Amino acid sequence: MDLFSVKDKAVLITGASRGIGRALAQGFSDAGAIVYGTGSRPESVSWTEGTPIKGVAADLRSETDMKDLINQIGKDHGRLDCLINNGATTLDIPASAIKEADLENVVATNFKGVFRACQAYYKMQRKKGGNIINIASIAGLHGAFLMSVYAGTKGALIQMGNSLAVEWASSGFRVNAICPGFTETDMTASIRKNEDYSEKLKESIPMRRIAKPEEMLGAAIFLASDASSYVTGSTIVVDGGLARH
């Protein structure tokens, strides 16, 4: 038996339009999983056309989009083996300049949307057990410059997952988190464009480089597979050593 196999597992990955989410969707599909990937708009998941990945438009800010999708997957496959909450948004402006609408958008996407997805998954599959992986961030552990609200939601996401891990363990659910470090995604594009700051950032990382999105796949495969059957309420940090430096 291959402990790390995800072949034929039904996996739902939010925020699969780009960056880490897209890399996870491609990686799980290549590993033989049945993959659903969401984006906030139909065009954001158009890249899945012609692939085995099922791209679906679902807005995390909606009170019903994720619930409807999760229930549909349950009807189509009889189960959802793993929910990966990756979808998120950020602000890279000073805290003093953040407006109420900006604040609500980040909280609605990064926290409320994830909670609703977890809740819908649990209600759909409480008798069968389940597996939730929340993609958080090292900013949620240590904070970061110009990331007050983003870091706050990611810290809250970690603690929400820890609480769900305890509350839902008796129902056969596992809930874990992955905390990526600085990664080559659209979210970090503005930081990486500043060459001086980017070089200083790399110097602060013991491995002296920024991560590639696909480097989050190994941790996700581990948590989604039977290799982690006794792991819940844990956080795996994938940051090149930055958090320990």
Q: Residues 31, 7: contact at Cβ < 8 Å?
A: yes
Of 239, 82, 90, 76, which Cα lies nearest the Cα of 151?
A: 90
- Between CA 177 and CA 61, with CA 17 as vertex, the angle to 5 degrees is 70
pLDDT at 187: 67
Q: Which residues pair with 36 in a beta bridge?
A: 12, 54
Any idea where the domains of the chain sit in the sequence? 10-238
pTM here is: 0.95
CA 144/CA 150 separation, integer angstroms: 9
State the sign of the Cα–Cα–Cα–Cα dihedral 34, 40, 41, 43: negative
- Between CA 24 and CA 205, with CA 215 as vertex, the angle to 5 degrees is 140
Q: Specify the CATH number for 10-238; select among 1.10.10.10, 3.30.1330.30, 1.20.810.10, 3.40.50.720.
A: 3.40.50.720
Q: Which residues are catalytic?
A: 150
Per-residue pLDDT tens digits of the chain, which is 245 residues long: 599 999 999 999 999 999 999 999 999 999 999 999 999 999 999 999 999 999 999 999 999 999 999 999 999 999 999 999 999 999 888 999 999 999 999 999 999 999 999 999 999 999 999 999 999 999 999 988 889 999 999 999 999 999 999 999 999 999 999 999 989 877 666 666 677 767 888 888 899 999 999 999 999 999 999 999 999 999 999 999 987 75
